[in-house]
């Protein structure tokens, strides 16, 4: 793991001394954090948490993303970290923008961050998404419409956490991930 793997403000930064812009991504700075736990609330330590997301304009740094929003030269949109002994993970990033869903005339995906969880106590890679509390596009999202259980959607909501926000810097969103059991987070690949 590199020193900036969980800091998306720094891990793709361009060097301003080489004629690049100020070197930081555009957008609202946020902290995304939480715990990876089992069905009994016990921490799942030393678990790899990977995330990927669109930039503040709603565009992914991917060759097949044809959305008209510009790429941010200082934002790669990917990060990773290991949970600590208490199952805690933490990323510093920017809040992604919504983007149009091409399968329908006027459908939009709400701001979201994709999350993958793998580790020694997890039998296979688990993939989910974190949506942001209060986003009015969540109930309109074509992906959310495929979920039959409204409680599954609730397991994918990151909650604003002012106690972990950094004053004059960034807001924090808590997203705990339950890897199995009745209260497990909804995983799209299960």
pLDDT in tens, 150-168: 899 999 999 999 999 999 9
Identify the three-state secondary structure at position 146.
Answer: helix
Domains of the chain and CATH, by start: 16-178 (2.60.130.10)
Query: Strand runs (DSSP E) across the chain, as ranges?
Result: 29-37, 48-53, 78-82, 88-94, 99-101, 107-109, 112-118, 126-132, 157-160, 171-174, 177-178
The neighbour count for residue 103, using CB atoms within 10 Å, is 7
pLDDT in tens, 30-54: 999 999 999 999 999 999 999 999 9
Query: Structure pTM?
Result: 0.92
% of residues, the chain, pLDDT over 70: 94
Take residue 154 and report the two structure tokens written for it: 């609730």
Q: Which residues are catalytic?
A: 60, 99, 109, 112, 114
Residue 23 predicted with pLDDT over 90: no
Q: CA of 35: how far to CAs of 52, 87, 143, in Å?
A: 18, 5, 25
pLDDT of residue 182: 87
């Amino acid at each position: 793991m590199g020193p900036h793997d969980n800091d998306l403000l720094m891990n793709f930064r361009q060097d301003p001394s080489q004629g690049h812009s100020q070197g930081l991504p555009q957008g609202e700075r946020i902290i995304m954090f939480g715990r990876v736990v089992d069905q009994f609330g016990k921490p799942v330590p030393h678990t790899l948490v990977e995330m990927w997301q669109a930039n503040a304009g709603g565009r992914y740094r991917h060759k097949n993303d044809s959305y008209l929003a510009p790429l941010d030269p200082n934002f790669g949109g990917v990060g990773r970290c290991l949970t600590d002994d208490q199952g805690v993970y933490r990323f510093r990033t920017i809040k992604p923008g919504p983007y149009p869903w091409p399968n329908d005339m006027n459908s939009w995906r709400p701001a979201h961050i994709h999350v993958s969880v793998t580790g020694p106590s997890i039998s296979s890679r688990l993939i989910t998404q974190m949506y942001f509390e209060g986003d009015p596009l969540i109930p309109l999202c074509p992906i959310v419409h495929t979920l039959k259980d409204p409680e599954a959607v609730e397991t994918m909501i990151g909650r604003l956490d002012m106690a972990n926000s950094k004053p004059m810097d960034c807001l924090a969103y808590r997203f705990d991930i339950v890897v199995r059991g009745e209260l497990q987070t909804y995983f799209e690949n299960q």
